[in-house]
Amino acid sequence: MTTFRYNARDEKGRNVSGTVEAPNPQEAATILRRRSIVATDLRAETSAKPTKAARPGCRKGELELFTRQMATMIGAGIPLLESLEVMEEQAESPGFKTVVHAMIEDIRGGTDLSAAMGRFPKVFSTIYVSMVRAGEASGQLTEILTRLAEYLEASQKLKRDIKSAMTYPVISLCLVFAITGFLMIGIVPKFKEIFDGLGVPLPGITQALMGMSIFLRDNVVLALAAVAALVAGFMFWKRTPRGTRVMDRFILTVPVFGPLFRKVALSRFARTFSTLIRSGVPIVAALEIVGETSGNTVILEAVTRAAESVKTGESLAAPLAKEPIFPPMVTRMISIGERTGALEQLLGKVSEFYDQQVEAEVKALTSLIEPILIVVMGVVVGGIVLAVFLPIFKLQEALGAGG
């Protein structure tokens, strides 16, 4: 789609301007005529630089509140422009206020709500714009916005659950690394002078620990630079197509956390797909959006292959059943939904099932992570202490034998 900016006259002879999305100028002019607008100047926007209004975003939770309130106001019979003006006044962040203001100006110029939202992909995702477009076409904008609000709220709840499960282990691991670094750089090197003065032969594990400790103390800047370079290199590799594919596959198969991330991905797939179909988005278009918004290349590739099969007339469940990422329960529910015409309801049940599974697994992991981290910390710190005190124990044994 290309965005065309126009100057035109409406049916009352007033000058109007705005933007319209269409594949070509002829179709853009046709769209305007359907709105009783005659274009006097129509040109494609060629500037690749975003305008000041295209850059802003919104604060956390602001989009969910906006969607819920818009659904309430439009459902109460308040006109779209008036509803947006109210939302502009209530917007907390300057960035989102700018976005809503720009949308108001576009709609006053004759642009559809979905097209106005489409100018801000960082605020309104592909699924958001597609559902609003389907709501405009079907005349069910209130219902679509309500579903969108429910979808966004459920997605945010799932993210909060995952974040709460990951916060404790990440902080604990950082503390383990910090304590280990302090012992290796600040404490262990001091024992070398003691051992050199005693002339005690050091065990292999102590020699290795001392060598590593002295190297880190004398080359701390080099060590930090090496770690930074490794992290930067890993992040760069991760952004490559191959790196993204390998990491996404690893995330779904890694022990302990892999099953959790897989259930999260399946829940997100089912919820997004169900919401799109319920909103009237065609199944092939819905599959394309689900793949793009899945956040995992494994699911993207699986859904893309399924969409190609659907285009040739095959059922959706058959190609998905060949993909290892989708369990038999999911594909069977989809197959039943296709046969009974209740696909969106069954996908919603799948999403609810995996949401419950994720919630239970998060609680189980939270209770399991603490003892695991205690064991890890004990092994690391205990290993350092053992390596340091082993020569002292041997010295005591030698003195005891000599006595």
Give residue-wise pLDDT tens across range 42-100.
776 644 343 444 455 677 788 888 999 998 999 888 888 899 989 888 888 888 888 89
More confident call, 29 vs 237: 237
**What six digits make up the tokens of 155?**
């997605």
Exposed/middle/buried for 320, CB within 10 Å: 0-12, 13-18, 19+? Answer: buried
> Would you tell me the crossing angle of helices 62-75 and 94-108 to the nearest 10 degrees?
40
Are 174 and 195 in contact by the 8 Å Cβ rule? The answer is no
CA 5/CA 10 separation, integer angstroms = 15
**Amino acid at site 306:** A
Contacts of 68 (CB under 8 A, 6+ apart): 145, 146, 149, 153
Confidence of residue 199 (pLDDT cuts 50, 70, 90): low
290, pLDDT greater than 80: yes
Q: How far apart are the first and last CA of the chain?
A: 92
CA 250/CA 245 separation, integer angstroms = 9
Q: What is the pLDDT of residue 233?
A: 92
Give the Å distances, CA to CA, from 96 to 87, 92, 132, 155, 319: 10, 8, 18, 20, 41
% of the chain exceeding 90 in pLDDT:
4
By DSSP bridging, strand 15-22 and strand 37-44 are unpaired
Place of tokens 């044994």: 397
The model's pLDDT over 26-36, given as tens digits with 9 standing for 90+, comes to 677 777 777 77
Place of tokens 């400790």: 213
The model's pLDDT over 313-335, given as tens digits with 9 standing for 90+, comes to 888 888 888 888 899 999 999 99
Q: List the one residue out of 357, 335, 350, 325 whose CA is nearest residue 272.
A: 350
The model's pLDDT over 93-146, given as tens digits with 9 standing for 90+, comes to 888 888 898 899 888 888 888 888 888 888 888 888 888 888 887 788 888 888
Give the mean pLDDT of the chain: 81
Q: What is the pLDDT of residue 46?
A: 47
**Sheet-wide strand order for 15-22:** 15-22, 2-10, 37-44
Q: What is the pLDDT of residue 297?
A: 85
Q: What is the pLDDT of residue 185?
A: 82
The model's pLDDT over 151-187, given as tens digits with 9 standing for 90+, comes to 888 878 877 777 777 777 788 788 888 888 888 888 8
CB atoms within 10 A of CB 256: 12
Q: What is the pLDDT of residue 399?
A: 61
Contacts of 299 (CB under 8 A, 6+ apart): 265, 269, 291, 325
More confident call, 107 vs 281: 107
269, pLDDT greater than 80: yes
Q: List the one residue out of 376, 355, 364 whose CA is nearest residue 267.
A: 355
Length of the chain: 403
Grouping H, G, I as helix, E, B as strand and the rest as coil, residue 42 is strand
3-state helix, strand, coil in the chain (%, to 5): 75, 5, 20
Confidence of residue 336 (pLDDT cuts 50, 70, 90): very high
Grouping H, G, I as helix, E, B as strand and the rest as coil, residue 262 is helix
Q: Which residues does residue 10 pair with via DSSP β-bridges, in sequence order?
A: 37
Cα dihedral 314, 318, 324, 330, rounded to 10, equals 120
The dihedral sign for the CA sequence 111, 112, 114, 115: negative
Q: What is the pLDDT of residue 54?
A: 40
Q: Which residues does residue 20 pair with via DSSP β-bridges, in sequence order?
A: 4
Exposed/middle/buried for 379, CB within 10 Å: 0-12, 13-18, 19+? Answer: exposed
Instruction: Say which range, 191-195, 198-202, 256-260, has the weakest mean pLDDT.
Output: 198-202
Average pLDDT over residues 265-290: 84
Confidence of residue 230 (pLDDT cuts 50, 70, 90): very high
Q: What is the pLDDT of residue 173?
A: 80
Q: What is the pLDDT of residue 152?
A: 85
